[in-house]
Structure 1
Amino acid sequence: MWHPQPIDTSGVEVPPEVRRERETLSRQAHDIWAAKRLADGWRYGEARDDVEKTHPNLVAYEDLDDDDKSYDRELIDGTIRLLIKLGFRIERDPTSEQPR
């Protein structure tokens, strides 16, 4: 039987300027997931139904409840902490265009 073994990143500190982008990154993760679902023929439905391909989370990120948003936030937080633990630095290019 498989047992997940994520790398421990509990002691990794995320820089404040990266933490401030958490919602932007979480929204992006949700939008990528939703775009893939929609491309695969899924549509909004009040209940998840794998046969009918309906899912209640096929809504804008802002319309998700906090429990559903927390999934995206935890994914983003874990990814950022892992990148930092692996020795990467995250820096903003001051000349880059910022999303709206």
Structure 2
Amino acid sequence: MNYEPKPINTDRVVLPPEVENLVEKLARNTHEIWSKTRLDQGWTWGPERDDAGKRHPCITPYENLSEAERDVDRNTAAGVLKTILALGYKIEPARETDNPQGES
């Protein structure tokens, strides 16, 4: 198979400060989704990755991850936000009446 990925070019996209603030929240949620998926598949925490035994050291709260591991999630989150903007969409904070969870 000769596959050549062609992601949307986001090199010139700069996240505005109000969107930049979302990166950490999305990174944390990305990790939570990944962890829940793994746990649902029968994986557990382990000091070393063991695919056969379904153990992984990153099945842990986000704040327990190394900075390098958190950067993986941050880069994913920033990439998604930049792609949304590159596609011409706007990201705006919710008005208080639109935000039932009270997050901004």
TM over 0.5: yes
The yes-or-no answer on 1:43 pairing with 2:44 is yes
Give the match's secondary structure for 2:76.
helix
TM-score by length of 1: 0.93
Question: How does 1:61-100 map onto structure 2 within 5 Å?
Answer: 61-95=62-96, 96=99, 97-99=101-103
Shift of 1:21: 2.1
Instruction: List structure 1 runs of 4+ shifted beyond 2 angstroms.
Output: none
Structure 2: distance between partners of 1:63 and 1:27? 11
Give the match's secondary structure for 1:30.
helix
Structure 2: distance between partners of 1:43 and 1:67? 21
Structure 2: distance between partners of 1:30 and 1:22? 12
- Aligned identity (percent) is 36
- Number of residue pairs matched by the alignment: 99
Shift of 1:23: 1.0
Give the match's secondary structure for 1:73.
helix
Structure 2: distance between partners of 1:45 and 1:61? 15
Point out where structure 2 has 5 or more consecutive residues left out of the alignment.
none
Match of residue 11 from structure 1: 12
Task: Note the aligned Cα RMSD (angstroms).
Answer: 1.0
TM-score by length of 2: 0.90
Match of residue 52 from structure 1: 53
Shift of 1:34: 0.2
Read off the aligned partner of 1:81 and give its amino acid letter.
Answer: K
Cα deviation 1:12-65 (Å, max 9, x = unaligned): 121101111211110000000000000000000011111100000000000000
